[in-house]
Amino acid sequence: MKAAIAEAKQGLQEGGIPIGSVLVKGDQIIGKGHNKRVQDGDPVTHAEIDCLRNAGRIGNYQDTVLYSTLMPCYLCAGAVVQFGIKKVIAGESQTFPGAREFMESHGVEVIDLNLGECQQLMQEFIEKNPQLWNEDIGK
């Protein structure tokens, strides 16, 4: 999760939304990314999507774990289900509940760490950038 938080902070420093993600296989990070929707002008470059793109084609994702600083939204949860990722560890879901039930209904184990650091990153960002945040979640 520390690597995902570092990705979130990097995104914030770039002027983007502070959400980070890493994909782990065994004890090795094989992909990492952060929300680049603002930086790239691409509405689907969420942290988890960026992470999966950076991991590249690995053939089989069933032995991987996806870490994300925020509970994945339906877009990212769809990618988790599509690629057969069986475990997602989220930093928090208080600022955004995401698509936990959707993932669980498709056999994904979801763990919410409820980390204060992740909540604080998002709360401060949402307070300062409500219009940008609402655009990111489709409101």
Query: What are the extents of the domains in the chain?
Result: 1-137
Helix locations, 1-139, DSSP H: 2-13, 37-40, 47-55, 74-83, 100-105, 116-128, 130-136
Task: Cite the active site residues.
Answer: 48
In contact, 70 and 118? CB cutoff 8 Å: yes
User: pLDDT tens for residues 25-57?
Assistant: 999 999 999 999 999 999 999 999 999 999 999
Name the band, by pLDDT with cuts 50, 70 and 90, for residue 132: confident
**Mean pLDDT value of segment 93-112:** 97
Q: What is the CATH number of domain 1-137?
A: 3.40.140.10
- Positions of E strands within 1-116: 20-25, 28-34, 64-68, 87-90, 109-112
User: pLDDT tens for residues 10-33?
Assistant: 999 999 999 999 999 999 999 999
Residue 4 has pLDDT above 80, yes or no: yes
